[in-house]
Structure 1
């Protein structure tokens, strides 16, 4: 089922056309653009939302006025036509969120009479009924009730569940590999515990009365977008299904040495609850308002959910949500940029997280998981956009998951899935932000690349090996650049110098249609100087996007590979055996890779498309655009090298050698 209406798709396409101008080679990312226009750096961001059509409609409406109106005027218009004004969208004075309580939460037909009522109002320019679409929590097992087990206190920390928190301190318990953990004790030893940093848990609510959370709860930064009130407490269900957010919150900020449950990665940081996941169908406006909520009070947004992990869905942020995310990274945290952490997905080997427009976005940090002996969990998705990994459940005993807080003052040891991985990363980033509160959203990504460790991580099936890119950085298709190392990240954050300004270069495109043979590959080439001599020149890479349109007799059998001029080969789309789409294909879909980080982009890029199928298939590669993101100046020149064997030393040496050529 396609989950967005044709009208909404038209709206997104119009937005993409309107905002295409900032991405030409003649414009750098500069501050003289209007904020939102500056934020929308490339047309692919909004084209994500243009690919959907559907047959579910909510009782929410996006209303655009002909001029700026104050909330009182908007309220009067809403009441005049039988609506309730839920407030402005992303702080706008011309766009508001209206709800009609007389309509069902989800219906199969658009309500033309209600839209007509709004459109005939002299103040209203357009009114768009919001489609409803599916968003699912990410977790390996159904959540279940557990009783608090009384455990003798343990030394440092003394919290009773700390011995079970192997992801914080792995001594080999429960069949794990000793020292395979987040190395948080090295960060704590530096006096860094997350003070003055707030992480928002965007989920099904947070039990903010939990004794292990209540003193670290930031009520001012919290909100319930499902019920539209300031109290994001989870809705009760007999099966405790809405314990997801509370479990994630405890991973970040559970208090230390209070005799309750375990301890959070950043146990002196604050958590905010944003309840937005608990309704039958998600809407674009709920997502957008959640991701744009209190951007100067919230530092990190943690999301352990996304499109359905069924191996056949291709889905991502709609128009308003993408605007909120991009506005967040450009304007949030008083201009330093909001940090969005995303769980990569639980679809396993049958799915590819590059088909999830949230996890694959360059604006988010996509986190995968490993289990306590170093192998990937069987539910882990793989893709080239994953930046790093943390941990989920145990190997020999799958019930040995992440020990954390649970609903109603309880504790659990069975939280798992990439749902558990993302909040751990958020906690590590909170530590880094306390160490250096001037870090930008890009600085956090650079620190992640430079300090994550290969450690003992390995692919249990032997499919994906560790590979070195053109400047000596090791990466893995499952684990990104490795497992987060809190101690190393905090140490480097303390002496970090903000990276140079980022530019994007439209490096070239191929718009001729090329057939994809059934048994052979089609290889396309783009040779680029990376906008040399222009004000968008890129010499040192960060993210690379291959924006692709294609159709196939069976979409799931297509594999795509992107090879950089330095020879790094990224699988940007793997086979998805459950995806039997033969109609939609991919339309301007931005496949992203981080594997070429810090490489030099000048030269010839190769795109290879082929079928991985025993049954003959046919397809057409209709369009490919290459977009390079990175800096003109070398990013690490001002950083002193303390360890000659560190990633920083390796990359700096490569860059210095290049500059002498």
Structure 2
């Protein structure tokens, strides 16, 4: 949904209260770990809602008289607060009924819910050595590790392909280095005393939600496990020309640390407060983590976290919307990032990775929700990863995984926001689609080819619309006109139970006029969601495809060989595709469900709801075309010709 300050109609404003119907529908319970195989665990944290708007002082009193500690409001609320009880174990297998009853018995308490704990894992190639390298004397006047930063300037080092990089030098040459933009690294902390970070550290936008203090310094471990956030921060904002480590993509931008990943189990309240922290000081939130990448988990943000993200894109940055960048996942070909409710969310920008010769990394997950790609490992030497800052003033050349890819994207977006501070969160997504390049990216196993959608945009199931091009993005950002108001059209629901047989595809159709003539008419697609409920004898063997009226085929669920689930299935799960971007949604949409298995399987599709998100008016009508071969020119011609190319 758009911000009502920038691109909202009265009819559209009503959608804000729905809090993203098609997304939240599956998460409205807010407290269950979707698709989790392990038993539930309960933390010593409680969500407490007071009767009336009493504020934080009264919440402190309520907590104290019941033996709790109030850690503060949830998302700045005057009614909802985060309580903890020190006498309770951090983790237990049974819910504490007495403590919940005690809170509910208080005359000022309307609701008390003990928080479930769930796993969130950092995304990084785990075979790489965790550790640090000592600073080496620079061989040239500037940053000693810049020659190793092939993702910034690829000259063929370490077996890479020349000019396969983020093209940041072209952005820097235009005068854009990220000034006045802040990126928050939501992770295990940031070494803000690092000589390559300290002058670019934004302390006002930082916080430690793991320890509940303003100092998100990483907790010490012998194996340097908590170096993850510091490495990500350096990719975005490492200082240039200080003879320390390397250079950040946006080396004059600011970086904030949000420490929230360093506890045994995550809770909804920690995630929510992290993603809603200082939304007018923070422009970009970068997340290199997610549900377990084991190929059998189906999980995503809970209620409060989803509310934080939706509020961020609607109200953050003073109405322009915060940009949430997410790593697509490290589960490899055995997993599918459409089963990750963070990476597959339309409110986030899902970023995958490539290695320095153009191949996908072996840990890359594929899915139709990935928008674009950046870089991670080197090809010839598996220990040549991303060169960046490390803990305790050190540097490393071994940062890796889609963990490394997401901060690179955040840096590119910081350059674009400096070039045009009025860009909305949706503008950044449009710019990513229009300026990303196919370059030399390819699937090393030949599973996924580059395909052209109905308006001439090339996409790949692994790489989205290509590798981000910083030079092209800032150039177009300078000329950019904010895209028209965005609507979502509920295009139809099929709720008749249909059997999925073992030996043939189930094909069903929804014919739609895309809400033509109504307040939510969509003529130009951005995101499309297929909200699906199904059960199968083996969930991991289910494949699902969505076909658009213009003939674009999106694989919205691939085979996951480790997923043996036969009970949970999917319940109103919002599978999402970006592959039909800028198409005309009017006509017949087809859903294909089938099994990919050597053994007989059975299942039932219980419900399919089609939700189309996009604009009524042409999004690029007022933009000048400087290159007749650009994606912008191709799409504009397609739109002007009535989508016929």
- Write the deviation string for residues 56-112 of structure 1: whole angstroms up to 9, x where unpaired: 000000011121111111100000000011111111111111111111111000000
Matching of residue 52 in structure 1 with residue 51 in structure 2: no
Deviation at 1:319, TM superposition (A): 0.4
Aligned partner of residue 642 in structure 2, secondary structure: helix
The answer as to whether partners of 1:153 and 1:259 remain within 8 angstroms in 2 is: no
Distance, in Å, in 1 between the alignment partners of 2:230 and 2:558 is: 34
Check the 8 A contact 2:132/2:391 in 1, yes or no: no
Match of 1:391 among 375, 379, 387: 375
Instruction: Say if 1:40 and 1:323, in contact at 8 Å, map to a contact too.
Output: yes
Shift of 1:52: 3.4
**Match in the other structure for 2:509:** 525
- More displaced stretch, 475-484 vs 38-47: 38-47
Distance 1:246 1:547 in 2: 37
After superposition, residues 84-99 of structure 1 pair within 5 angstroms as 84-99=69-84
| Correspondence 1:527-606 to 2 at 5 A | 527-606=511-590
Contact 2:143 2:241 (C-alpha < 8 Å) held by counterparts: yes
Q: Which residue of 1 aligns with 2:637?
A: 653
CA–CA separation in structure 2 for the residues paired with 1:154 and 1:564: 54
**Match 1:238 to one of 209, 222, 230:** 222
Residues 165-564 of structure 1 correspond to what in structure 2 (within 5 A)?
165-564=149-548
1:128 Cα deviation from its structure 2 partner: 0.2
Displacement of 1:266 in angstroms is 0.1
Distance of aligned partners of 1:390 and 1:174 in 2 relative to their CA distance in 1, 3 Å threshold? same
| CA deviation after TM superposition for structure 1 residue 481, in Å | 0.1
Measured in 1, the distance between the counterparts of 2:138 and 2:214 equals 38
Query: d(CA) in 1 for partners of 2:52 and 2:259?
Result: 31
| CA displacement, residues 159-181 of structure 1 (integer Å, 9 cap, x when unaligned) | 00000000000000000000000
Q: Is the 8 A contact 2:19 2:307 kept in 1?
A: yes
Q: 1:148 aligns with which of 134, 139, 144?
A: 134
Task: Measure, in 2, the Cα distance between the counterparts of 1:40 and 1:356.
Answer: 19
Residue 160 of structure 1: which of 131, 140, 144 is its match? Answer: 144
Output the aligned Cα RMSD.
1.6
2:21 to 32, 35, 42: 42
Asked whether 1:120 is paired with 2:105, we answer yes
Partner SS, residue 560 of structure 1? strand
Give yes or no for contact 1:154–1:163 (8 Å, CA) kept in 2: no
Bigger mean CA offset, 39-48 vs 494-503: 39-48
Tell me what 1:610 maps to: 594
1:640 alignment counterpart:
624
After TM superposition, the score normalised by the length of structure 2 is 0.96
Q: Which residue of 1 aligns with 2:88?
A: 103
Q: Is the 8 A contact 1:192 1:435 kept in 2?
A: yes
1:61 matched to 2:46: yes
Instruction: Give the CA deviation at 1:37.
Output: 3.8
**Shift in Å at residue 33 of structure 1?**
7.9
Q: Write the distance in 2 (CA, Å) between the matches of 1:558 and 1:48.
A: 22
**Count of aligned positions:** 634
TM-aligned CA deviation for residue 289 of structure 1: 0.1
Shift of 1:146: 2.4
* Matching residue within 93, 103, 118 for 1:133: 118
Deviations 1:127-152, CA, capped at 9 Å, x for gaps: 00000000000000255222324143
Shift of 1:39: 6.5
Give me the whole-angstrom Cα distance separating, in 2, the residues matched to 1:388 and 1:541: 17
The CA distance in 2 between the partners of 1:550 and 1:30, in whole Å, is 35
**Is contact 1:165-1:402 (8 Å) kept?**
yes
Q: 2:454, 2:643 within 8 Å by CA — same for their partners in 1?
A: no
Aligned to 1:15: none
Helix, strand or coil at the partner of 2:456: coil
- Taking the aligned partners of 2:24 and 2:472, their CA distance within structure 1 comes to 33
Give deviations 1:533-567, integer Å, cap 9, x for gaps.
Answer: 00100000000000000000000000000000000
Partners of 1:659 and 1:251 in 2: CA distance:
40
Structure 1 distance, partners of 2:18, 2:572, is 19
Q: What TM-score do the two structures reach when normalised by structure 1?
A: 0.94
Question: How far, CA to CA, are the matches of 2:412 and 2:16 in structure 1?
Answer: 32
* Partner-residue secondary structure (3-state), 1:639: coil
Structure 1 contact 572–593 (Cα < 8 Å) conserved: yes
